[in-house]
Structure 1
Amino acid sequence: MEIKTLIVDDEPHALDIIERYIANFPDLHLVAKCNNAVQAFQILQKHKIDLLFLDIKMPGLLGTDLVRTLTNPPRIIFTTAYQDYALEGFDLNAVDYLLKPIPFDRFLKAMDKVFNGYRPDYLPVTPPSSTSTVKNDSFLYLRVDRKNVKLNVDDIYWVESLKDYIKVVLADKTYISKQKISVLAELLPDEKFVRIHRSFIVSIEKIQSYYSFAIEILGRELPIGRNYKDELRKRLK
């Protein structure tokens, strides 16, 4: 499934944040981003857009006024710093209404509504254990968007905690699952993975280099927590 997405916001920083958030979801394809409603209207006439992240208070034309011009508007998530527009936004059948600054966990809740909307007749798979993640020695099933996704353990680079969610990073994909990192800590094989921080579990064999305060993996630096330094040194000897 590919959800074609457009971001409209007159603040460059807000555009960048939403674009970074979108990059965490393989099903989302960012078609374009622009900084005013008139440009957005032109893009919507030329491209099929499934999901619109739309700021409300922009120069020239309000985001809410743009929606009223559309005969068949896409699914809309309003993004704004002004709570006063909330009622009007929901009157326009918005999927959600995000107040800036938008924390990632709140963005995830909005995406859960989007994915539920795209799968109205999808029956959740009943997991074969009390958790939403199931594994054997070489692979595990990760609960993602109301389905269980099979992941080869050897393909995982790291797991990152995002409050009540986790991000599982592979070489070319990232998955978001609603659960605690402690669940993955129990399921991942100890001989292949090590916890380096309360928010990070990494594949030992995929660590490219390490310092006193961080490791490098897949070209990114991840912090080493004070309480995890000794165990990491032992595992890397």
Structure 2
Amino acid sequence: MTCIIVDDEPLAIEIVEAYLEKIDQLKLLGKFRNAIEAFAFLQDHAVDLIFLDIQMPKLSGLDFIKTLKNPPKVIFTTAYRDYAIEGFDLEVVDYLLKPIPFDRFLKAVAKVLHQPTAPLAAAKADGTGDDYVYFKVDKRMVKTRMTDVLYIESVKDYVKVRTADKEIITQQKISYLEESLPRPQFLRIHRSFIINVEKIDAYSATDVEIGKFSVPIGRNYKNDVMKALGKNVF
């Protein structure tokens, strides 16, 4: 996995870099003293993980994440515990307090390397021609056709996959799931919701109707949603 370090403290960067040298599965692509430089780098480079300080000049780590439409996985490295709740609201992987012991750092990295993910490699071996995936539910793998999914809802560290006749709950981050779903069939319309565009019955500026369900459109997603759905308006 590729990663970058964003921190305004040179010593903090050196420590994280030294830790990373001990972990073969992570490749460091860059080190940045502020979020503006990191933002520019991300425009041209794919990164899987950011080790990110919070209190930095020009732009805080929290605000930096909010500027990214599809942010990589994030591990906060900070001297302040006051932002922990807001950090986890942003779906960060972990929150490390400086000075960071190596064993604690390793534990955070393990969460990334072994992050539970839904196996989203499409298959067409069921004879119907429909793509399907398996979602891990407890100790079972539940087969779900993509054409049956109405919408997906994020609830903390879990997602609810809603079909017309059932609800599947699996441990997963919605941001990671979004990266694997086929587009433009699936569209993120809210921080907590992804919908199957093919299942839409009606929509307005505030919500989308899918069968008996009403799914809200997030303020920060409204322009992109209207642009995507407005292509077929006459």
- Give the TM-score taking structure 1 as reference length: 0.49
- Give the TM-score taking structure 2 as reference length: 0.49
